[in-house]
Structure 1
């Protein structure tokens, strides 16, 4: 067993290094491109070492998946909050539309597809919709705003960043509704009323307020009340971990959604020391830690997907494809229809809803709280959707965003060019 474990560790390390190296060699940046390679490499490990892979069975042992994904997501959410340079209040209305309209539409459509095409119960279908509805802040680096002080806060990037930052927390009420239905064996008016008050309204409110207050206090302590003007790299690394766990853990203890608090807290820390150079150090450490955890989770997800191959049918693949190419684009377009966005920008926002680690966390979390039918089916669909999303979005995101940047540049400066004033369009990455 020890030799098999060491062999698997060597394979995992080689897969991670090879995937990232090939990405750098191709000239692409970020983690989005090698993500699918990491999952496919994990599948190779699972199929080559079935005894080792069985230790990562997400249905049999969901708790390690829950804990690892939880840490990864809260670090990513805090880092995403740190990225927001400007609040851009006018665009928040569009973010709200994606959350209030787009997410419920996605949940309803996926729940229907799970029940109609995969034979899931109401609780199982609702769980499938709830865990796959949120977009992911972990794997969406290529379509998000830039690092602190870097900018790149156009409407498309800002929308995709803020949506990913908030909808991980806002999916929680629907996960809890699925858990309540599974535990009760059905749904009634009393259950819905209790859910609406406790899980939908109270926990969201507590998470938002707690994240804002704790984030403001942490930011003030770091950047305003500290006697030192400088913060070295080691101190920044320690501080970011302390800030993340304090905000998340404090909010969960208060009965709120820690995911919402992590993102809001990151934004408040950013506001408290907007021009402080340590902001870059905080973000760099959080990003590097997030990427390391994500790489391991993606390989593990590939191992699990290899184990789940016997449970995968054409209907499961169809549901994953339906989410990526039909449900998400239609829900996104419907949400943004009332707003005067250029058609192409609206289409990009609607199509680039990356799925990833947040879905893994929610599914593992729910599996430890109530007995759900068809968990192997739900896990298979979720991991297929993550694999498809990392491949499709990772392959296209950089080129699409570069094209949008160039189009935006020519729209602003085209007249000047025609008048003989020279300039350069943004470089393609």
Structure 2
């Protein structure tokens, strides 16, 4: 029984420390995630009674926890962007989705298969889980508030937020392709047919429909209720409710819930945008953002503990070089090329290309695939992905607050 109270004490102390970290770290200009890694490592070393990885993460716990963090982060991203951007302004993040992500996946697959000698399903899985940028750990470089038409950001912050909102969903079909391959000796005509119509077609369409309908329905009904001036909606819980409704409904209908959540966030302000009205029923960004940060704190704690616990031990010199190449060369170069005719200046192009953070979304995809597929070399996959996430967290954590203030003013 005392261990239970010890856990409560640890949670309380850790969350309190994390509350002061942004203020303390302002002088040092680093992300709050880096001290949390160190706290997690220290807590593991002190053998605090928490469910630490041994040495890799527990599949079920990690799957559900990372899933929750990602869907909340996607709602935050959707609510900040809203419907304030034109098609021309959406073209830049779509360049990152349509050019950078597939070419990045191809490079990962070719290196993993031909140079690192992983088998086909594992190489494809690595390509899929490392493709999306992370909507949670990238919060320091994304939009910091709900955008308005007259003062919206169209630079680095907007493009990274929109990219993170979309690519978490669009990497999922390739995770399923890797799962299908792992369950069969090869990808035959039947597997390709199933993948194309169901995983690439049906699930995306359902995800889009559910997200748009949920966001639109919320916007419509709150506009109708706005005529009753004395009735007030409890805004604090709305964003969290929309997250769970859109995600749960999409998954029940076998659609991509990540896509639904992001679109529900976009369309939650539909009538305010199209009717140019101000309605006192906005989903509260403050509440759900605080929930997001609270969950990230403990994800980082466990990740820091897993580093000391040995999750990196299965790496080799080639896999370490592979990770450095992806973070420092492949993503920045492909990102910059995709933005060649974007209209952004050179500094903003390089910043968007450089800040392709890998994180919690990759962990969700990895644990989901391992739970549902039949993959070999699981420990090596975990170790490779963990190193790339660590490299991304440290590199971007030390550079974000130094670079962003000098670049993204609009």
TM-score (norm 2): 0.89
**Residue 65 of structure 2 is aligned to residue 68 of structure 1:** yes
How many Å apart are 1:277 and its aligned residue?
4.4
Q: Distance in 1 between matches of 2:2 and 2:316?
A: 34
Tell me the distance in 2 between the aligned counterparts of 1:26 and 1:236.
31
For residue 394 of structure 1, report the CA deviation from its aligned partner. Answer: 2.0
Q: Check 1:23–1:186 CA distance in 2 against 1; reply closer, same or farther (3 A cut).
A: same
Instruction: Name the CA shift for 1:242/1:51 in 2 (closer, same or farther; >3 Å).
Output: closer
Does the 8 Å contact 1:58/1:364 carry over to 2?
Answer: no
After TM superposition, list the pairs within 5 Å mapping 1:8-407 onto structure 2.
10-11=9-10, 13-27=12-26, 33-49=31-47, 54=52, 58=56, 61-85=58-82, 86-149=84-147, 151-229=151-229, 235-274=234-273, 275-279=278-282, 282-307=284-309, 308-405=311-408
Distance in 2 between residues matched to 1:396 and 1:23, nearest whole Å: 15
Question: In structure 2, how many angstroms separate the alpha carbons of the residues matched to 1:230 and 1:316?
Answer: 61
Give distance in 2, aligned partners of 1:320 and 1:167.
20
Q: Which runs of no fewer than 5 residues in structure 1 stay unpaired? A: 409-429
Distance 1:9-1:41 versus aligned 2 partners, 3 A rule? farther
More displaced, 220-229 or 35-44? 220-229
Checking the alignment, whether the CA contact within 8 Å between 1:231 and 1:278 is kept in structure 2 is no
Rounded to whole Å, the distance in 2 between the matches of 1:222 and 1:247 is: 17
Change in 2 beyond 3 A, CA 1:312/1:290: same
Q: Partners of 2:223 and 2:301 in 1: how far apart?
A: 38
CA distance in structure 2 between the partners assigned to 1:391 and 1:284 by the alignment: 26
Pairwise CA RMSD of aligned residues?
2.7
Structure 1 390/55 Cα, relative in aligned 2: closer, same or farther at 3 Å?
A: closer
Change (3 A) 1:29 1:73: farther
Deviation at 1:238, TM superposition (A): 2.7
Alpha-carbon distance in 2 for matches of 1:117, 1:277: 57
Q: Structure 1 pair 182/161, CA: closer, same or farther in 2 (3 Å)?
A: same
Distance 1:379 1:231 in 2: 51
Q: Using the alignment, how far apart are the partners of 1:17 and 1:267 within structure 2? A: 32
Is the CA contact 2:142–2:161 (under 8 Å) kept in the aligned structure 1?
A: yes
Tell me by how many angstroms 1:309 deviates: 3.6
Pairwise CA distance, 1:304? 2.4
The answer to whether the 8 Å contact 2:79/2:285 transfers is yes
How many Å apart are 1:65 and its aligned residue? 0.9
1:170: Cα distance to partner?
Answer: 0.5
Question: How many Å apart are 1:138 and its aligned residue?
Answer: 1.0
Aligned residues of 1:58 and 1:65 also touching (Cα < 8 A): no
- Unmatched segments (≥5 aa) in structure 2: none
Per the TM alignment, residue 164 of structure 1 is displaced from its structure 2 partner at its CA by: 0.5
**Cα deviations by residue, 1:160-202 (Å, 9 ceiling, x for unpaired):** 1110000000110010011111111322233223212211122
Counterpart CA distance in 1 for 2:284 and 2:54 is: 32
Tell me the alpha carbon deviations over residues 395-424 of structure 1, each in whole angstroms, 9 at most, x when there is no partner.
Answer: 212222211146x7xxxxxxxxxxxxxxxx
CA gap of 1:45–1:140, structure 2 versus 1, over 3 A, is: same
Count of matched residue positions in the alignment of Structure 1 and Structure 2? 402
Q: Separation in 2 of the partners of 1:79 and 1:64?
A: 23
Equivalent position SS for 1:184: coil
Aligned to 1:418: none
Asked whether the equivalents of residues 132 and 362 of structure 2 are also in contact (C-alpha less than 8 Å), the reply is: yes
Please identify, of 384-393 and 108-117, the stretch whose mean Cα deviation from structure 2 is larger: 108-117
